A and B are shown apart, each in its own frame.
Chain A
Amino acid sequence: MLQEEYRYWLANLPGIGPRKINQLLQIFGSAQEVYSAGSEVLQALKRDGLLMGHFEEKDLETILTNRNAEKIKLQYAKLQRDGIYFVSREEEGYPQKLLPIFDAPYGLYYKGRLPGQEEKLLAVVGARDCSPYGIEMTNYLAAAIARAGIAVVSGLARGIDSYAHTAAVGVGGTSYAVLGCGIDICYPRENLKLYMKLWQEGGIISEYPPGTSPFAGNFPMRNRIISGLSDGILLIEAKEKSGSLITVDYGLEQGKEIYVLPGRANDRLSAGCNNLIKMGAKLVTTPRDILEDLIMNYEQSVDELKKNNKLLESTGKIVYASLCLEPKHIEGIAAETGLGMDIVMEQLLLLELQGFIKQPMKNYFVQCSY
């Protein structure tokens, strides 16, 4: 058997997680040694108390009985056939940034490529059910950051995650997705296009073996990888008890910089964000706020919010000015501008056709920020 196959075997023992693997490796040195260790040796170790924690009789049983070389070879060959790579902590390709995490995964499966050891990454996480404001700002920030050469890492979930990935690869940048299920499963399904795109333009990473279903319990765990891979975490729209805050917690443990997009004071959807700002997270309004930390000698190379107003005729300008990133109903726009309903509708259509504004929902309009 090849070294890789031994490692693959070790990573796939049921009931034996990163911590137990750590102990085994400290004693035996390599996966191959674990594979060839006899029953007496393991029993002796257990008796002497060298295998601590939750090591139980049945774990030893698992190690001893799952030694079917034929099966392991077949499975490993299948991985390679499916274009799935496997990398373990004993190899060089393994992301070094993950090593300091105390329960870092022993092995990672990936499609596409892994982030380079020196590559700068920013995690962008946030609400699944996001608002048009969140969407616009994610598009704007993620695109600008990707353009500056920083890869965006997120979780391929609905909402902010998907928009961040899409915006990054949309401007020709790189993006990595860390999944909470097997690498061969696209969850949620509707992101299949994005999944394929990330396979080409970046990477898809998971610590779970192929075929693992998206169990709810997997997702908080994968967040430690998202935060671990990144150099900073950008949080966009999180409620007071949002799952995204788990990522932030891991990030704080791992000593990452936390960037937060503020919401309005009374926005429930941004309550978690605003709390973090109160606690000292960095408030982000432009990509510059992030890039100046991540890129040495960062200069004004990021384009600011487009100033489109010059191009517009005066009524159009009035209508455009009355809009913001919060969706506004045509009636509100008409009342605010004091223009007739028909004129407002005419101007809104023109602005929409010119790409200055968008209609996230029928009859509601927002400015386009990028």
Chain B
Amino acid sequence: MFSKAYSAAVHGIDAVMISVEADISDGLPIFDMVGYLASEVKEARERVRIALKNAGYHIPAKRITVNLSPADIRKEGTAFDLPVAIAILTALGHLPQEDLKGTLIVGELSLNGNVNKVNGVLPIVYEAKERGYERCIIPKENAGEGAVVSGIRTYGVASLSEAVELLSGRASRKEEAIDLDTLFEQANQEDGMDFCEVAGQRAAKRAIEIAVSGLHNILMIGPPGSGKTMLAKRIPTIMPELSFEESMELSKIYSIAGLMNQQALIVRRPFRSPHHTITTTALIGGGRIPKPGEISLAHHGVLFLDELPEFQKNAIEVLRQPLEEKAVTVARLGASYQYPASCMLVAAMNPCSCGYYPDRNRCDCSINMVKRYLGRISQPLLDRFDICIEALQMNYQDLHGGGPQESSQEIRKRVEIARQMQLERYRGQKIYFNSQLTPKTIKKYCRLNSAEQSLLEEAFVKLNLSARAYHRILKVARTIADLEQSERITSKHISEAICYRSIDQKYWGE
């Protein structure tokens, strides 16, 4: 007898529907699975056979053939165990075929018949809803993820027999539900970190505020212990809250990467801080079975690279293109996958190998050594940082006194205003932040009056700026003006932007 169940496979950050067909006919007792399967899918044969037996079903000595179609897409992962088992049970007549109509099933089986969690449930359920499916059966542990998608009924099951009962309608179950509002509210409350904990560092804080407002990448240079990491960790706290769409997109990535950790939705902006020994693949994504890398996991959040010069050169160089395109494309023989990667890049480094330059009482590095240390980062990558700021060694006054510090809440209010200004200005275009301005659009949106023009011209000549530096200064000046809710860019804004201009290897040291 022939039967058909529906399941899905993850492809990039989206899902494709897969139908699982089972047929039981006379012949030699064989359990065969076909349909361009990876070895973990082929192994489903053993898991399904034993799980069925342990769940109390008798498998007759007949020829069982399972086909996963479309047969030209490579099937990977363990999510097909449960649909295969259900399809076989249907073919055996334990379940009527009508019950499987409009039902999407995913789940991994363990030998005792329990259903284990799988990766990528969120994009799968989302895709099922889009395709007009009525209900989804997913592992209990992934129930939260599935419940987030509205417009489709999802049921979490803990075992094979539970799934059978549910499908046959013998047990009536309530669908999974989750209250998104409370979820988002909780996220805002339980955030432990705050900018008010960082003493001093006025310049760095100001630079970070500007960077977040215009989504500029920022490089912090400072001696060890000056609080660079502490500052970076608090950057997500001043970013505007995640919208539902953003959260959905982000959760899809985390769902595929298997990093949901029982959460229903990622509701907080991510802060990813990979160690400097990270490989290229782990950073931008890829691998034999393509997975999103750190840059995608930091989507809508912060990717923090501490000790930038210590990273493998080729690992950080590959960041250049994804940073521009806000997406990573991983091409494989079978298909190419695209992962979104719209993150803010924050990097920190010491000014020299000992870390104390220009404090000559502590630093013994020669100018050449200092230059060589910076030289480990290529100029093109350096050009990706719109803002570069020196973090200063903190002194006792900063740590002890210094009065109350601004809280993240207050800073975030200003950031939100600046972002609102940008959204309104660029409405109807594919620009959302000042950092995305191109030389052409800079001309349009960063108009200068003659006084400012002459100031910038003088600075350009005297400070030996490059064309790229010129554009970066204008973009940052635009954001500084936005923070003050000023449409006009004044000379004050320009001077501040020049102060944050990124270092040029040529002008490093004397």
Answer yes or no: do A and B interact: yes
A interface vs B, CB < 8 Å?
Answer: 128-132, 135, 158, 266-269, 327, 329-332, 334-335, 341-343, 345-346, 348-350, 352-353, 360-364
Measured between beta carbons, the chain B residues less than 8 angstroms from A131 are 358, 360
Provided the pairs A342-B496, A345-B499 are in contact, do residues A329 and B203 lie with their beta carbons within 8 angstroms? yes
Measured between beta carbons, the chain A residues less than 8 angstroms from B392 are 329, 331-332
Confirm or deny: B424 has a beta carbon within 8 angstroms of a beta carbon on chain A: no
Inter-chain contact B492/A329, CB cutoff 8 Å: no
| Cα distance, A327 to B492, chains bound together (Å) | 23
Inter-chain contact A361/B358, CB cutoff 8 Å: yes
Inter-chain contact B366/A361, CB cutoff 8 Å: no
18 examples of A-B residue contacts, CB within 8 angstroms: A129-B366, A129-B367, A158-B366, A267-B360, A330-B203, A330-B499, A331-B201, A334-B203, A342-B495, A345-B499, A346-B491, A346-B492, A346-B496, A361-B351, A361-B508, A363-B203, A363-B389, A364-B390
Inter-chain contact A128/B366, CB cutoff 8 Å: yes
**A329: contacting residue among B206, B390, B462, CB under 8 A:** B390
**B361: contacting residue among A130, A268, A341, CB under 8 A:** A268
Confirm or deny: B176 has a beta carbon within 8 angstroms of a beta carbon on chain A: no
Inter-chain contact A360/B390, CB cutoff 8 Å: no
Measured between beta carbons, the chain B residues less than 8 angstroms from A335 are 202
How close is A32's CB to chain B, nearest CB, in angstroms? 48
Inter-chain contact A353/B459, CB cutoff 8 Å: yes
| Cα distance, A335 to B365, chains bound together (Å) | 29
Inter-chain contact B389/A158, CB cutoff 8 Å: no
Interface string of B340-364 (1 = CB under 8 A from A): 0000000000010000011011001
Measured between beta carbons, the chain A residues less than 8 angstroms from B358 are 131-132, 327, 360-361, 364
Confirm or deny: B498 has a beta carbon within 8 angstroms of a beta carbon on chain A: yes
Confirm or deny: B463 has a beta carbon within 8 angstroms of a beta carbon on chain A: yes
Instruction: Find residues 316-361 in chain B having any chain A CB closer than 8 Å to their own CB.
Output: 351, 357-358, 360-361
Residue of B360, B480, B492, B503 most packed against chain A (CB within 10 A): B360
| Cα distance, A349 to B460, chains bound together (Å) | 12
| Cα distance, A364 to B498, chains bound together (Å) | 13
Residue of B361, B367, B508 most packed against chain A (CB within 10 A): B361
Inter-chain contact A361/B357, CB cutoff 8 Å: yes
CB closest residue in chain A, given B390:
A363
Inter-chain contact B202/A346, CB cutoff 8 Å: no
| Cα distance, A112 to B201, chains bound together (Å) | 53
Inter-chain contact A349/B499, CB cutoff 8 Å: yes
**A345: contacting residue among B221, B357, B360, B495, CB under 8 A:** B495
Confirm or deny: B509 has a beta carbon within 8 angstroms of a beta carbon on chain A: yes
| Cα distance, A158 to B459, chains bound together (Å) | 29
Inter-chain contact B496/A158, CB cutoff 8 Å: no
Provided the pairs A129-B360, A349-B495, A364-B358 are in contact, do residues A331 and B509 lie with their beta carbons within 8 angstroms? no
Measured between beta carbons, the chain A residues less than 8 angstroms from B462 are 352-353
| Cα distance, A18 to B226, chains bound together (Å) | 56
Measured between beta carbons, the chain B residues less than 8 angstroms from A362 are 221, 388, 390, 503, 507-508
**A343: contacting residue among B455, B492, B503, CB under 8 A:** B492
| Cα distance, A131 to B509, chains bound together (Å) | 10
How close is B376's CB to chain A, nearest CB, in angstroms? 17
Instruction: Find residues 438-488 in chain B having any chain A CB closer than 8 Å to their own CB.
Output: 455, 458-459, 462-463, 480
Confirm or deny: B286 has a beta carbon within 8 angstroms of a beta carbon on chain A: no
Measured between beta carbons, the chain B residues less than 8 angstroms from A343 are 492
Confirm or deny: B12 has a beta carbon within 8 angstroms of a beta carbon on chain A: no
| Cα distance, A348 to B204, chains bound together (Å) | 17
How close is A1's CB to chain B, nearest CB, in angstroms? 46
Measured between beta carbons, the chain B residues less than 8 angstroms from A266 are 361
Inter-chain contact B360/A361, CB cutoff 8 Å: no
**A361: contacting residue among B206, B368, B499, B509, CB under 8 A:** B509
Measured between beta carbons, the chain A residues less than 8 angstroms from B509 are 360-361
How close is B291's CB to chain A, nearest CB, in angstroms? 38
CB closest residue in chain A, given B462:
A353
| Cα distance, A158 to B369, chains bound together (Å) | 13
How close is B224's CB to chain A, nearest CB, in angstroms? 16
Measured between beta carbons, the chain A residues less than 8 angstroms from B221 are 362
Measured between beta carbons, the chain B residues less than 8 angstroms from A348 are 495, 499
CB closest residue in chain B, given A264:
B361
CB closest residue in chain A, given B221:
A362
| Cα distance, A342 to B207, chains bound together (Å) | 11
Inter-chain contact A129/B364, CB cutoff 8 Å: yes
Inter-chain contact B361/A353, CB cutoff 8 Å: no
Other A-B pairs, 8, CB within 8 Å; known A129-B360, A130-B360, A269-B361: A335-B202, A341-B203, A360-B509, A362-B221, A362-B390, A362-B507, A362-B508, A364-B358
Measured between beta carbons, the chain B residues less than 8 angstroms from A342 are 480, 492, 495-496
| Cα distance, A54 to B365, chains bound together (Å) | 42
| Cα distance, A187 to B116, chains bound together (Å) | 70
CB closest residue in chain A, given B201:
A331
Measured between beta carbons, the chain B residues less than 8 angstroms from A327 are 358
Measured between beta carbons, the chain A residues less than 8 angstroms from B390 are 329-330, 361-364
| Cα distance, A269 to B357, chains bound together (Å) | 13
Inter-chain contact B202/A331, CB cutoff 8 Å: yes
Confirm or deny: B107 has a beta carbon within 8 angstroms of a beta carbon on chain A: no
| Cα distance, A33 to B469, chains bound together (Å) | 70
Confirm or deny: B510 has a beta carbon within 8 angstroms of a beta carbon on chain A: yes
Interface string of B141-153 (1 = CB under 8 A from A): 0000000000000
Confirm or deny: B301 has a beta carbon within 8 angstroms of a beta carbon on chain A: no
| Cα distance, A129 to B368, chains bound together (Å) | 9
How close is A268's CB to chain B, nearest CB, in angstroms? 5
Measured between beta carbons, the chain A residues less than 8 angstroms from B361 are 266-269
**B367: contacting residue among A158, A268, A330, CB under 8 A:** A158
Provided the pairs A131-B358, A135-B510, A331-B392 are in contact, do residues A341 and B206 lie with their beta carbons within 8 angstroms? yes
Instruction: Find residues 168-204 in chain B having any chain A CB closer than 8 Å to their own CB.
Output: 200-204
Provided the pairs A345-B499, A352-B463 are in contact, do residues A269 and B206 lie with their beta carbons within 8 angstroms? no
| Cα distance, A268 to B366, chains bound together (Å) | 15
How close is A49's CB to chain B, nearest CB, in angstroms? 50
CB closest residue in chain A, given B492:
A346
Measured between beta carbons, the chain B residues less than 8 angstroms from A350 are 495
CB closest residue in chain B, given A133:
B360
| Cα distance, A310 to B383, chains bound together (Å) | 39
